[in-house]
Structure 1
């Protein structure tokens, strides 16, 4: 008899490295351009705090994105994101390099993406997540889908789900309230 497939929570409990796409996941996917051709992006502060909480819990974070932007590099530094891959044409190749660099297996990786370029990594990692407004093909292949849209709390939701699955959420919440972690 074959073992039952893992639940999303069981998959999230194994995550040691959580990887995020940027446009449509950490942002709403909108791209604003200045007259000089510079790109501007808007990030959600609650999403950012969720990534920081993962780090506090010992879960490393990474970004793999097809675009290259100094704004993303600045945001990654602010959030202490362990690994940043920008301007990536082949996300599977970047994912393979990242696993080697971080010394983790695909089953120990989570990935949140929203569109076709994310499918290669999404279908290879142990925990696949998508924002509510992801492309239907991404949602169909995700283990977990947020209620929030990309750039509007989706990343925070997945961070909270991982922390809960790993039984770390309550301790972090207690610490935020000033209670002891005992």
Structure 2
């Protein structure tokens, strides 16, 4: 089976994941745990998961475009996106459908080859159009009931990596991504 042996993924979800040419990520509650910490100067602090970061890099190396669409604006998100090489970043977007339309125009892609992972009702306009709609277990119930797949892992704790691995496996690119890290590794 193509899927991760530790996660039971329905065949229709795998078929959808096999079509993804661009994966789009919400931030708060997906790339982070959704909590906001405020520093003494009022700056919002966020915690990102390194497993998610490598998963995003693996998607990019496999030729899959990555993007961020977030309702909040944060210099920390800009920094994280820059560190990961994500060039399509839309922040401060309260109508995510508008940002999605702009992203599709910028990339010359259609919704039927896009995946999106979100956690709240503000994400529903994109989730309802995406080929692969994903949420997290800590997402809003209205969202979880309308997506194709809910990750096993919570947002901010590796949910994005789970989706990245799922896409790579569904597209037959996982072994090649892994092989890069196994070359010239001495046997134990």
Provide the residue aligned with 1:31 in structure 2. Answer: 36
State yes or no: 1:59 paired with 2:64: yes
The structure 1 residue matched to 2:13, chosen from 8, 11, 28, is 8
Q: Following TM superposition, where does structure 1 have runs of at least 4 consecutive aligned residues deviating by more than 3 angstroms?
A: none
- 1:132–1:154 CA contact under 8 A, matched in 2: no
Listed one character per residue, the Cα deviations across residues 30-73 of structure 1 (whole Å, up to 9, x for unaligned) are 00001221100000000010000000000010000000000000
> What SS does structure 1 have at the residue aligned with 2:66?
strand
Unpaired runs of at least 5, structure 2: 1-10
1:75 Cα deviation from its structure 2 partner: 0.2
Equivalence for 2:8: none
Distance in 2 between the 1:145 and 1:30 partners?
A: 20
Following superposition, the deviation at residue 145 of structure 1 comes to: 1.1
Selected match of 2:143 from 138, 143, 151: 138
Question: Which segment is superposed worse, 138-147 or 159-168?
Answer: 138-147
Aligned length: 174
**Contact 1:51-1:156 within 8 A present in 2 as well:** yes
Distance 1:178 1:119 in 2: 42
**Residue ranges of structure 1 left out of the alignment (5+ in a row):** 1-5
TM-score, normalised to structure 1, is 0.93
RMSD: 1.0
Paired residue for 1:3? none
> Which residue of the partner structure matches residue 77 of structure 2?
72
| Residue 150 (structure 1) aligned with residue 168 (structure 2) | no
Instruction: Describe the superposition over 1:112-149 as per-residue Cα deviations: whole angstroms up to 9, x where unpaired.
Output: 00011001100011110111211111111111111000
Alignment partner, residue 126 of structure 1: 131
**Which residue number in structure 1 is paired with residue 120 of structure 2?**
115
Alignment partners' CA distance in 1, 2:172 and 2:154: 25
The correspondence for 2:97, drawn from 92, 98, 109, is: 92
TM-score (norm 2): 0.90
Contact kept in structure 2, 1:20 and 1:111, CA below 8 Å: yes
Secondary structure at the aligned position of 2:145 is classed as: helix
